[in-house]
């Protein structure tokens, strides 16, 4: 399997990837704050929201920074969606454990995230599938919904969060199907596939030439 490659002159140890790494480090901090005393302490939940919001903000700026300063790397393309999924998973699983989000919503969204991650790994030898605009919109909707659930501001806010999360589920399913199509297209049109097809055609041509000379 081909390892992720970095464009010439661009180090994987750059500020954009550092922000992605920070987001991953904030995930367990967010979890601990959210789950403190079964989520019953308002100020701990406010602290959890602050950490969650900070982690979500890094998602907004790491990609923009990478593109603006020419710091885009394949490692960043892989790590960024993984960090997104880890943050969302921590929020959804935590809220499910606290009894605030239905189990099937958690399973549906996390199942979709796992499927997309496996797709990325399956086609990585053909190329890296970066997060799409639809995928980013899905992540934003999930972040808004989780943030609203985490804040201890009463049932009205939870109702709004439920609506936003429902929209996020729909977007997640649609974009999940789109990733499947993109993966199939990448496998069909990648340089590796083209080279294999050309080699297969040459072997077939050689066999036909040998048979015709007999």
Confidence (pLDDT) at 1: 42
The answer to whether 169 and 111 are in contact (CB under 8 A) is no
**Tell me: domain 15-213, CATH 1.20.120.1760, correct?**
yes
Give 106-127 pLDDT, tens digit per residue: 999 999 989 988 888 888 787 7
Residue predicted with more confidence, 188 or 69: 188
Alpha-carbon distance of 65 to 152, in angstroms, equals 33
Alpha-carbon distance of 74 to 71, in angstroms, equals 10
Give 176-211 pLDDT, tens digit per residue: 999 888 888 888 877 666 667 767 767 776 677 767
Give 127-174 pLDDT, tens digit per residue: 777 777 888 888 889 999 999 999 988 777 888 999 999 999 999 999
- Dig out the tokens for 159 from the structure: 């109702």
Average pLDDT over residues 30-35: 97
Confidence (pLDDT) at 126: 79
Confidence (pLDDT) at 7: 52
Residue predicted with more confidence, 210 or 80: 80
Q: What residue ranges do the domains of the chain occupy? A: 15-213
Q: DSSP class of residue 132?
A: P
**How much of the chain exceeds pLDDT 90, in percent?**
41
Residue predicted with more confidence, 65 or 34: 34
Residue predicted with more confidence, 61 or 174: 174
User: What pTM did the predictor assign?
Assistant: 0.76
List, as one string, the DSSP characters of 146-173: HHHHHS---HHHHHHHHHHHHHHHHHHH
Is 57 a residue whose pLDDT tops 80?
A: yes
Confidence (pLDDT) at 213: 65
Average pLDDT of the chain, as a whole number: 84
Residue predicted with more confidence, 20 or 34: 34
Confidence (pLDDT) at 121: 83
Residue with tokens 């601990």: 32
- The pair phi, psi for residue 131, each rounded to 5°, is -65, 135
Sequence-separated (6 or more) residues with CB below 8 Å from residue 160: 148
Question: Number of helices (H) and strands (E), helices first, in the chain?
Answer: 7, 0
């Amino acid at each position: 399997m081909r390892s992720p490659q970095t464009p010439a002159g661009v180090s994987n140890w750059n500020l954009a990837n550092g922000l992605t790494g920070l987001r991953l480090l904030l995930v367990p901090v967010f979890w601990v704050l959210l789950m403190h005393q079964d989520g019953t302490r308002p100020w701990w939940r406010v602290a959890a929201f602050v950490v969650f919001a900070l982690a979500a903000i890094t998602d907004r700026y790491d990609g923009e920074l990478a593109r603006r300063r020419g710091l885009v790397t394949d490692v960043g393309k892989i790590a960024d969606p993984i960090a997104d999924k880890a943050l969302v998973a921590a929020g959804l699983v935590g809220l499910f454990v606290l009894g605030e989000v239905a189990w099937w919503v958690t399973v549906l969204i996390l199942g979709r995230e796992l499927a997309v991650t496996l797709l990325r790994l399956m086609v990585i030898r053909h190329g890296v599938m970066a997060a799409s605009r639809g995928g980013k919109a899905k992540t934003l909707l999930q972040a808004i919904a989780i943030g609203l659930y985490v804040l201890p501001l009463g049932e009205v806010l939870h109702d709004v969060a439920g609506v936003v999360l429902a929209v996020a589920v729909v977007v997640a399913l649609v974009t999940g199907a789109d990733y499947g199509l993109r993966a199939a297209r990448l496998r069909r049109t990648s340089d590796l596939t083209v080279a294999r097809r050309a080699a297969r055609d040459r072997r077939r041509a050689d066999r036909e030439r040998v048979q015709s000379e007999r």
